[in-house]
Structure 1
Amino acid sequence: MHILDNLMLMFEFWIQTNWYVAFAMSLVTNLAVYFAFGYLISTITQRITKNNWLGEYIDKRPFKNGQQTSEIKNGITACVMFSLVSLLARELFVGVIPLSITQLLIEVSVFTLFYETYSYFVHKLLHTKQFRKPHSVHHYSVRTTPWSAYSVHPIEALLIGMSAPLFMLIFPVHLSVIFAFHILGVVFTLLIHSNLKLNSSNIFCQLFNRYTRSHTAHHSIGNVNFGFINSFWDLCFKTKYIESRVV
């Protein structure tokens, strides 16, 4: 209960404080999550693939010169953009915590549907001629690492970050739900860029491999697998990858 109470106090302070203090709090949070989980996933991936016993890299091509340094610099810029956009959420939320489990489930379900649709069509948009140059920042990382996850142009970071405020304009949602989705989304995005295939047949490993292989295919091939958490829109628009084409 103390942890929940402290989180509530932090949310209340963030809502009521000056915008530049709120921005600083958001930036520290984004950077902390990005670096903590990026380092953790990178370290675990390196150890798992050391002897190819527990897992192996999907794409084994060498990294480009200075790739990781460039990725981390771009990731920091993305965190700045996410923190700026978060200030809009201070004006649009309907409360801090949902009043019931039913309300929580409704908000989670509707936002999940919204984000999957939003992310697919924004991702498709980024592959059009008009946005190809900004999106090329992300596709510079052909062989991905967790740090590749937010190695994006500021325009792309803005589009990613705007998903929550746009949703909040059309559907009442509580701040804690948006915050939780953002943190989980960051971690999930880091994971699917890990380029890791686990050598196990259990259900968890199969699910993990499906996501990492799917996104590795996107970076390898380019015009497939635009979806974030499922293949619904990829199947509808015939952009789901053919596994045999994956490197």
Structure 2
Amino acid sequence: MPPAAGTGSLTAAQWFTALSAWEVMALGLVFFSLLYVGGGVLMGALTSGLARLGRGHTLDERPLTRAQLHAEWRQSFHSILIFGTGMIVPWGFVQVGWAQFAEQAGALRMALEVAVLMIWNDVHFWINHRLLHTRALMRFHRDHHRSVRTTPWSTYSFHPVEALMLGNVILLPMVVHDFHFWSLAAVPVLSLLLNVVGHSNYEFFPSVSDTHPLAASRRHHLHHHRPQGNFGFALAFMDRLMHTSAASRSDTRHRVP
């Protein structure tokens, strides 16, 4: 294995590129496992703490079944296998010369790159999510919608086909532009954080509108209850543009009868 980034003259991009295929896949499995477990634990702690303080409220108060949690963990394990071993694809793009990392990038350029990538992430997600709701592909998306009451552990709870569709988000950008290594690395981290918010089953900002950037958890909660709309990811612009928004009623909470 090459020297760790920062211990010699290698940059993070050079270190990553110099890894073997097996090392890349092992790194990917550790990386996505830590993201998933860390995101789930932290979101659970955050929502529990806010509930104790009386800030916001739970969206769906029905009891959570052990069967749902077990299914989410099992399906998420398969997704982590796909996402983790799939890191060999962008690594391979660099190896064969289809893409390369920018050698130098200032803070402003990196911030702009991350912003563009996250906007593309929303577009990519809307396209694939909308396709998964077609008659031809819905059978691959039903696994995710079995989490009627979402949890932070629903975040990676996908059929393998869905995981493959959603996991290729950085490949096209890599081909059309030389991004800095850390700009690309930020995408799965920010995506997981925003996705875990969307599946948190918690209303953080009850007073904002459905289309507000801070209403992501409410929008995705509505999607799990009314799957005909709200196909977007963290933002609402694709649903507004494509007229696929699912308007909420006056109270979005699903209380126990």
Provide TM-score, normalisation by structure 1. Answer: 0.86
| Deviation for aligned residue 1:161 | 1.1
- 1:57 & 1:173 partners in 2: Cα distance? 39
- 2:206 & 2:246 partners in 1: Cα distance? 22
- 1:35 & 1:132 partners in 2: Cα distance? 27
* Match in the other structure for 2:61: 60
Provide TM-score, normalisation by structure 2. Answer: 0.83
Name the SS for the 1:66 alignment partner.
helix
Tell me, yes or no, if the aligned pair for 1:94 and 1:175 is still in contact at 8 Å.
no
* Match in the other structure for 1:223: 228
| Deviation for aligned residue 1:80 | 1.3
- 1:68 & 1:18 partners in 2: Cα distance? 35
| Deviation for aligned residue 1:11 | 4.8
| Deviation for aligned residue 1:89 | 1.4
> Is residue 212 from structure 1 mapped to residue 214 from structure 2 by the alignment?
no
- Structure 2: state its 5+ residue gaps: none
Q: Counterpart amino acid of 1:77?
A: H
Residues matched between the structures, number: 241
* Match in the other structure for 1:49: 51
CA deviations 1:63-84 (Å, max 9, x no partner) are 2441112111211211111112
* Match in the other structure for 1:238: 243
Name the SS for the 1:222 alignment partner.
coil
Q: Which has the higher helix share?
A: 1
Cα separation, partners in 2 of 1:53 and 1:113, compared to 1, 3 Å: closer
Name the SS for the 1:215 alignment partner.
helix
CA deviations 1:101-153 (Å, max 9, x no partner) are 45324423432332221111111000001111110011000100000111011
- 1:218 & 1:179 partners in 2: Cα distance? 28
Tell me, yes or no, if the aligned pair for 1:58 and 1:196 is still in contact at 8 Å.
yes
Name the SS for the 2:232 alignment partner.
coil
Cα separation, partners in 2 of 1:10 and 1:169, compared to 1, 3 Å: closer
Identical pairs, percent: 25
* Match in the other structure for 1:184: 190
Tell me, yes or no, if the aligned pair for 2:198 and 2:216 is still in contact at 8 Å.
yes
> Is residue 165 from structure 1 mapped to residue 171 from structure 2 by the alignment?
yes
Cα separation, partners in 2 of 1:229 and 1:19, compared to 1, 3 Å: same
Q: Counterpart amino acid of 2:200?
A: S
The one of 123, 137, 142 equivalent to 2:143 is 137
Worse-matched range after superposition: 37-46 or 149-158: 37-46
* Match in the other structure for 1:76: 77
| Deviation for aligned residue 1:42 | 1.3
